[in-house]
Amino acid sequence: MRFQLNEEQKMLKEMVHELGEKELKAKETEWEANNQHVPNDYRKKFAALGLLGIALPSAYGGQELSALDAVIAIEEIARVSPRCGRLLFECNLGAVRVIEQFGTVDQKQKYIPSVCNGDMIIGVAMSEPEAGSAVTDLQTKAVLDGDYFVVNGQKRFVSGAPEFEAYVVYVRLSGERGAKGIGSLIIDRDTSGVSFGKQQLFLGLYAPRCDMFFSDCRVSKKNLLVKEGGFKKLITAFDLQRCGNAAQCLGIAQGALECAMEYSRERKQFGKPICEFQAIQFMLADMALRVEAARLLLYRAAANAGAGLAVPLEANLAKCFANEMVREVTGMAIQILGGYGYSKESPVERMFRDGWGYGIAGGTIEMQKITIASLLLERRFDQRR
């Protein structure tokens, strides 16, 4: 087992770290103050640096590296700018990977190069008003009518909506109940019959997000991505997105640890730096323990995914631990900084708010633990009984 990055990965980490320190840290503060999304021109900037499509095939414009390389880049960006980390997350481990794994050649040729060059981001539309954790209760329907599917329904908490250019939409393709009737379509933002609700504002994770509506929306059958009965494929691919979620948590927590360490060296009380007090030392040690444990779990899941899909148990362990870890670590960072940490002037206040949301997004911590137990025991737990 290797516990060291190779030379190329070290260079990637160093390059992204430098970008974050020199530019993105200040930009994140500016965007946060102005309630602003990442401007679209940053897509082109990241594309020019080779940071989009890191693990996507070179035949479609990607770098053809591994999921671990993508995780390293996401983590480093999220350390100073979760907004930009989210952008890298979507373009490396997000819905585009479902197309890369299960799409037709035509679908890959149409969508993947546009993601790699920064012209497009592809979101996922899964949750509905009555289908969150119980995602197999989804009601959005797609009925085949000649060469088109007619789609009707509503999606909730759609990440990137309405700014992303296309979406992998989970739909019910037949009258089969539960997972059996579920598949997915690729639906472009400007398709007739697609509309969007008002922007949803949250405690943290400032990013475009809203409801998505389909009213007799006609989608070419060429855009069928996963047929009915392919729900397991969709969820297996979603485990890569869970690795992206964990990478965001890891980056945020690393940023909080660095802020707490720096403050503890500079802040003086009772005539000496507070890092000399045992209470502060214990908190810093606990923070480092949790960050490093999360890193090992995530790097294992990403390394074993390679250029393919993650092992479900490894991905779920990494996400669940990282989700709890980032809440604890950012909370301790606030405690170390005291009133300064609780102030809007401090980045750890924003880190706390951003980090908390990842234990809800992409599957709640509680549902992750049920999944982990199910995978360990090799049996399914029916929540409806």
Please state the domain extents for the chain.
Answer: 7-116, 122-229, 232-377
Instruction: Compute the mean pLDDT over every residue in the chain, rounded to the nearest whole number.
Output: 95
Using pLDDT thresholds of 50, 70 and 90, give the confidence band for residue 306.
confident
pLDDT at residue number 381:
86
CATH topology of domain 232-377: Butyryl-CoA Dehydrogenase, subunit A; domain 3 (1.20.140)
Instruction: Report CA dihedral (39, 40, 45, 50) to the nearest 10 degrees.
Output: 130
Q: Which residues fall within 8 angstroms of residue 66, CB to CB, at 6 or more apart?
A: 55, 302, 303, 305, 306, 307
CATH code reported for the domain at 7-116: 1.10.540.10
Evaluate whether 64 touches 78 at the Cβ level (below 8 Å): no
> Does 329 have pLDDT greater than 80?
yes
Q: Which helix (H) or strand (E) holds 14?
A: helix 7-19
Torsional sign, CA 59, 65, 66, 67: negative
pLDDT at residue number 383:
78
Using pLDDT thresholds of 50, 70 and 90, give the confidence band for residue 177.
confident
Q: Per the confidence metrics, is the pTM higher than 0.75? A: yes
From residue 69, give the alpha-carbon distance in Å to each of 54, 56, 332, 369.
7, 11, 29, 27
CATH topology of domain 122-229: Butyryl-CoA Dehydrogenase, subunit A; domain 2 (2.40.110)
Mean pLDDT of 88-97: 95
